[in-house]
Amino acid sequence: MIDLDLEGPGLHVIFGISDAEIKVTINDVLQSAIPIRDAVLDLTHRLEIESGCLLFCPAGHRLEEILKMVDTGFNLSRFKAVLYNLATEYRLDYLLIDSHPGIEKDTILSMAVCDVVVLLSRVDHQDMFGSGVMNEVASQLRKPVVLILNMIPSSVGEKESKKIGEKIASLFNLQVLTALPFNSDVFENLSRGVFVLEHQKDPLTRRFAELAENMIGIIDRALAGGESYDNGSTPQTVG
């Protein structure tokens, strides 16, 4: 997983990574000749993952790093080379890129290299408008898009949530993968850890597991119907 929310990075907080542990960030890699391996943190044992592994590349979260990246940006060819090196060196199966909401250069670049674009949105006018714009950009880039509706109010039942999803799917001409209910436990967790690992028996954790399985199926079908950005030599990339 790469944190590419360059204006508001925060995934390192969820993973419990301290400032002292971060020696190199994805900002450093994209703006200089530093190899991507220097920015990789192996979280497999930290999170007690028993099957497979999880590698993480943090974004620069210090103000000077953020301002420098916002000011200078990075180029597509360098970004693609970095992803290729990361994928081949670690023999990745999947690569997730977490970008910030809104149309910015880094967001568009991440969408350009992804095999599948995942939009996460609440059911309100502002988020829906933003999702519509992002969907249009992804369509212009010829990227398949799936939408996950998030924080559905507790007053909205499952059947009604499904109807809302079907209506939005028809409106934006995309696939709505699921509608996740608002969960007070997640809210109260305050990003202090990975919810599904700390609450393995919670019903929402089961929902996330099902979501992951469905997402893998969508990625596999998307690649079966076309080529990834470098003809399949990198893993399936999700933004």
pLDDT digits (tens, 9 = 90+) for 164-221: 888 888 888 888 888 888 888 887 776 778 888 888 898 889 989 999 999 888 888 8
Flag whether pLDDT at 102 surpasses 50.
yes
Do 8 and 106 sit in the same domain of this protein?
yes
Last residue of a domain, one of 69, 91, 112: 112
CATH code, domain with 107 = 3.40.50.300
63/141 same-domain check: no
What phi and psi, each to the nearest 5 degrees, are found at residue 53? -150, 165
Q: How many structural domains compose the chain?
A: 2
pLDDT for res 232: 43
Question: How far is the C-alpha of 94 from the C-alpha of 97, rounded, in Å?
Answer: 10
For the chain, what percent of residues have pLDDT higher than 70? 88
Q: Are residues 91 and 124 part of one domain? A: no
- Asked if residue 206 and residue 171 are part of one domain, the reply reads yes
Q: Is the domain of 212 the same as that of 120?
A: yes
| Together in a domain, 108 and 118 | no
Q: Is the dihedral of CA 15, 126, 122, 74 positive or negative?
A: negative
The last residue of one of the domains, among 112, 130, 151, is 112
pLDDT given at position 83: 92
- Do 158 and 102 share a structural domain? no
Are 160 and 185 within one domain? Answer: yes
Q: Are residues 43 and 161 in the same domain?
A: no
Q: Which domain holds residue 108?
A: 1-112
Question: What is the pTM (predicted TM-score) of this model?
Answer: 0.81
Residues 6 or more apart from 2 whose CB is under 8 A from it? 26, 56, 57, 59, 86, 95, 96, 97, 98
Same domain, 95 and 164: no
Q: Which of 71, 97, 112 is where one domain is finished?
A: 112
Rounded Cα distance, 198 and 91, in Å: 28
